[in-house]
A and B are shown apart, each in its own frame.
Chain A
């Protein structure tokens, strides 16, 4: 569905996107195994099933708009976000984004456990495409925002999940992304950090930033987003104004 008549104002466009994962029932996972099979004359044949994690999903997000994605576990929310973040291309359909896209996908954002928080900030930000000068300018703000004290110079393996998430969010929030993709980041932080990150995320609106928020916390989604889509088995069940979608979702899962 197209959310807006002004076709030119979009930041994210997803057009009947499909994405599958291979469910390897007995695909050989080592060269040794492959060689043994060949010797037994079974060739390289193996059965492979496709699991369609995202099926025929279409939507448009306007610039500056905040979209919530809700749905039960395994409904394809994170996969959809990964598609938009460009982690993998869709098998069918198109996913197009305009501007720098930063995704906070899952916990820890791929930090290296042996490196310190500060080193990980530099590495992570540079992988998002920032130059050294840009990171130097932001490093103090990022560290202040993460607010984990002396731990910033300790290896990330010594961090709690909450601390790693704080640092991850701090990096993502300071990167000047045009599009921010947040996956369940509200679920781990303490109340104070949650407040702070919500405020920061909402503050991005003024700068014309686009946001997609994946969360099980319906209150947060309703508070932060304009629109929502409800995913189920990789398909959009409903999309529209955030409160309508949440209402329908709650009716389905918590019949009053």
Chain B
């Protein structure tokens, strides 16, 4: 677990890397930041057209729910995919300067987090303008879910970053699996569709074992009509399981990364 303490020692290097990462992402301008929101906006509008107008989803607050969960998902998949290539794309640096390599995936986690918070700010403005009522008592649950999401993401990023130094198509494989997970999580549709579905109980259990599902339900719960415990009586069991999965993933990620770290500079 040494790498986690070295993150603190190299905090200034980390800050520099994050700053440059965001500069590149936003092309050094406010307009660049707004420009970066176009992609999720187009995505959300497309989903709205398809599910709200064509498919006529009767769910109240569907628009704001989509904004919330799609942005959270974007943070997850963005961090994981950026993290996967974080070391492999910096091998030139890795071969020349000896610094704790964990700084590289950590940079991607932080820059994606900053990006998410900024997007969340825009979302909050939109909420205020649309006079969306917020279910405040569920805010602590949503924040805890975000912490779990961050822990899980970082563990996954460490695993993928290490493996992708040795196998060049990890990002591609991860991208495909993430796409599957996107549709198998209550991002586009409410969890109610699963809990009320006549499918066998086993499938439902498997569905909610996916650690992403409880986070998405937690995020939706700040919007009226989405109380997770009402939708799924065993919600807190699954939420606890997702905490355990996140912690195990982080430990495995750190261990694996530290074990493979010495040979990174020998690759490529």
Contacts and interface: CB of A to CB of B under 8 A. Distances in A.
Interface in A104-123: 105-106, 108-110, 112, 114-115, 119, 122-123
Interface in A56-110: 82, 85-89, 101, 103, 105-106, 108-110
Contacts of A110: 90, 92-97
Given A88-B262, A110-B92, A103 B169 contact: no
Interface string B94-116: 11111100010000000000000
Interface stretch (B8-16, B143-151, B239-247): B8-16
Contacts of B15: 126
Contacts of A119: 16, 20
Chain A facing B: main interface SS = mixed
Contact of B168 (A29, A86, A114, A129): A29
B130 interface: no
A128 B9 CA distance: 11
B5 interface: no
Contacts of B166: 29
Interface string A36-62: 000000000000000000000000000
B139 interface: no
Contacts of A115: 20
A21 B15 CA distance: 33
A160 B174 CA distance: 38
B67 to A, nearest CB: 32
A22 interface: yes
B265 A123 contact: no
B99 A127 contact: yes
A30 interface: yes
Contacts of B201: none
B78 to A, nearest CB: 19
A88 B260 CA distance: 11
A248 B24 CA distance: 52
Contact of B96 (A28, A87, A131): A87
Instruction: Give chain A's interface residue range (CB within 8 Å of chain B).
Output: 35 or more
B20 to A, nearest CB: 6
Contacts of B90: 110
Contacts of A88: 262-263, 265-266
Contact of B97 (A28, A128, A130): A128
Interface string A171-183: 0000000000000
Nearest to A113: B92
A124 B169 contact: no
Interface string B230-268: 000000000000000000000000000000001101100
B167 A34 contact: yes
A123 B96 CA distance: 13
A123 B170 contact: no
A157 interface: no
Given A103-B98, A105-B95, A82 B265 contact: yes
Contacts of A109: 96-97
Given A31-B170, A82-B265, A112-B20, A124 B12 contact: no
A205 interface: no
Interface in B22-41: 24
Nearest to B268: A29
A29 B163 CA distance: 11
A132 interface: yes
Given A34-B167, A110-B95, A110-B96, A87 B265 contact: yes
Given A29-B167, A87-B97, A129-B10, 14 more contacts: A28-B167, A30-B168, A31-B167, A32-B169, A87-B96, A87-B98, A103-B97, A103-B98, A105-B96, A109-B97, A112-B93, A115-B20, A126-B15, A127-B99
